[in-house]
Chain A
Amino acid sequence: AQSVTQPDIHITVSEGASLELRCNYSYGATPYLFWYVQSPGQGLQLLLKYFSGDTLVQGIKGFEAEFKRSQSSFNLRKPSVHWSDAAEYFCAVGGRSARQLTFGSGTQLTVLP
């Protein structure tokens, strides 16, 4: 079985500060990894994904994530946060299928002016 842990329920950062959201996964083989963002009342928007190859993945809105097999992690980073980044962020793993995702519990990001 696959699982995802997002250890931080809520993170607060100041606008312009750097951001790192943590994600740890459990799966026997190399998984398919995703980060999605959800604004209030909205669906999920894909930020980036990792299938194979380069372990540093670039996404939209200036986000990047690094796959570390030894740590079973796929942390999301952004060098400078904007107020519009305030939202809930979900890490997801697709093991047997990239169409059957297991999501973490989400991290709520608050951005202070």
Chain B
Amino acid sequence: KAGVTQTPRYLIKTRGQQVTLSCSPISGHRSVSWYQQTPGQGLQFLFEYFSETQRNKGNFPGRFSGRQFSNSRSEMNVSTLELGDSALYLCASSFSGQGAGWYQETQYFGPGTRLLVL
């Protein structure tokens, strides 16, 4: 099975712009979570989507948003970029099917999208 794929892998933007990142989960996985990784704050949970619905949200401003499509692919969007948004954005997928045991809830991470805001 192919792993989690994220596009693009690298991105450079300027302050005030907006950006959209894409994540394709492992085939058959229905849950997608997003994390931000920075040297200062470490790995922080952004949000989680399942069946096109946001199930959980971390402590991030409203400039960070996401969505999930019927094929489980997910996008996250950051509007009005700030310098502090420079980070590695990681996507993770899990099976999370109906009746799935916790064992099947393990998240598998993609390689990430490295965003640099100038």
Contacts and interface: CB of A to CB of B under 8 A. Distances in A.
Interface of A: 32, 34, 36, 42-46, 49, 51-52, 90, 92, 94, 97-106
A100 B106 contact: no
Contacts of B112: 42-43
Interface in B95-118: 96, 102-103, 105-112
B45 A100 contact: yes
B42 A105 contact: yes
Contacts of A103: 35, 42-44
Given A98-B102, A99-B31, A46 B45 contact: no
B20 to A, nearest CB: 19
B94 interface: yes
Most B Cβ at <10 Å: residue of A44, A99, A105: A99
A101 to B, nearest CB: 6
Interface in B8-43: 31, 33, 35, 42-43
Contacts of A45: 109
A43 B103 CA distance: 21
Nearest to A90: B43
B109 A101 contact: no
Contacts of A97: 48, 55-56, 105
5 contacts: A97-B56, A98-B102, A99-B92, A100-B33, A100-B56
B87 interface: no
Contacts of A52: 102
A79 B17 CA distance: 49
Nearest to A98: B105
Which of B31, B90, B92 has the most chain A CB within a 10 Å cutoff?
A: B92
A97 B107 CA distance: 11
A92 B35 CA distance: 13
Contacts of A92: 43
A11 B13 CA distance: 35
Q: Of residues A94, A100, A103, which shows the largest number of chain B Cβ atoms within 10 Å of its Cβ?
A: A100
A99 B33 contact: yes
A98 B42 contact: no
B56 A98 contact: no
